[in-house]
Amino acid sequence: MKISGMSKDTYLYINGLGVYERVNLGRNIELLPANVTVKQSIVAGLSKDSGEFGLALIFLWLVNSQLHIVSESPELLAKKAWNSLWDIVLLSALFNCDSVCNFQCDKPAEEISNTCNFLVTNHHLRGISRSVYFLKEEDIKWLKENFSNGRNLLDQPRFSHAVHCLATYHWHSLAFAQLALLWSGIEGLFNINSELSFRLGLYISRFLEGDNEENKKLIFKKVKVLYNQRSIAVHGAGDIKNPQESVHDSAQLLRRIIFHCIEQNNLPIIDDLAP
């Protein structure tokens, strides 16, 4: 990935995530709708070589949103835009979509022209899926109330690791690899080194359900089953009856934990969860 400090504001074009209205994400960063209608001749003029031309032809028409970022200077703008790539990763994790920034421009997506300062930021063919998640009204409400907490928690390595695992596990084609990555994120959040299955079940159930004893028992049992499947995936000692279901359930568990961390504005505190 490469990001440039073009002036005092910039736009990061996003594939895979759509929005119908302006959403303030804080710190002079806004998530905006995007609608790209641009001629092939303009794309050719903006591209530095045939590779970028091909990427632009593939991805520009799949842009559904954009981040507008404002800062005091080009140098600070470059740092702020680079850090905002993590905002996009966090949005991917939260809303189960493959949102990727493939382009940066000094103009909004609706105003692309031959005079734009246009940059291809990602050359890895990510975000090619036609599947787009459009934020719902309740999603936007949640973001307005909680997103700043999530951004602050990204400064903590075990949280950023968990978010990255959840945002990228679907890049792997094998269910066993997906399970290993998802559980790497879960285990990292709880920082457990022994009696993994039992302690994870206990800590996760207490973290998510507090005093609800019935729900804690259900989560405890579910975590033990899923962790056993994770062990099969990692060590290759057996088969999983329905690996895709295990992946789905593990991803939903990690997503729920991440949401709870953000809403509580804190990571799991093991001393509070231990018996």
Helices (H) and strands (E) counted in the chain, each on its own, are: 10, 8
Do residues 174 and 114 both lie within one domain? Answer: no
Number of domains, the chain: 2
Do residues 234 and 192 both lie within one domain? Answer: yes
- Whole-prediction pTM value? 0.91
For residue 213, the number of C-alpha atoms closer than 13 Å in the C-beta half-sphere is 0
Residue-level pLDDT at 54: 85
Do residues 100 and 165 both lie within one domain? Answer: no
> Of 81, 100, 134, which marks where a domain is finished?
134
What 8-state DSSP symbol labels residue 72? Answer: S
Residue-level pLDDT at 127: 59
Confidence of residue 206 (pLDDT cuts 50, 70, 90): very high
Cα radius of gyration rounded to whole Å, the chain: 20
Residue-level pLDDT at 56: 85
Residue 152: φ, ψ to 5°: -65, -40
Q: Identity (one letter) of the amino acid at 183?
A: W
Residue-level pLDDT at 128: 61
Residue-level pLDDT at 111: 92
Residue of 143 and 125 predicted with greater confidence? 143
**Residue 249 in contact with residue 226, Cβ under 8 Å?**
yes
Do residues 119 and 214 both lie within one domain? Answer: no
- Cα–Cα distance for residue pair 68/44, rounded to 1 Å: 24
**Residue 92 in contact with residue 99, Cβ under 8 Å?**
yes
Residue-level pLDDT at 188: 93
Q: What average pLDDT does the segment 15-43 reach?
A: 91
Residue-level pLDDT at 40: 86
Confidence of residue 130 (pLDDT cuts 50, 70, 90): low
Whether 16 is covered by a domain: the verdict is: yes
* Per-residue pLDDT tens digits for 229-243: 988 888 876 677 888
Do residues 228 and 121 both lie within one domain? Answer: no
Tokens read off for 82: 């680079």
Q: Identity (one letter) of the amino acid at 137?
A: E
Comparing CA positions, the residue from 106, 98, 77, 103 lying closest to residue 168 is: 98
- Residue-number span of the structural domain to which 195 is assigned: 156-273
CB atoms within 10 A of CB 242: 11
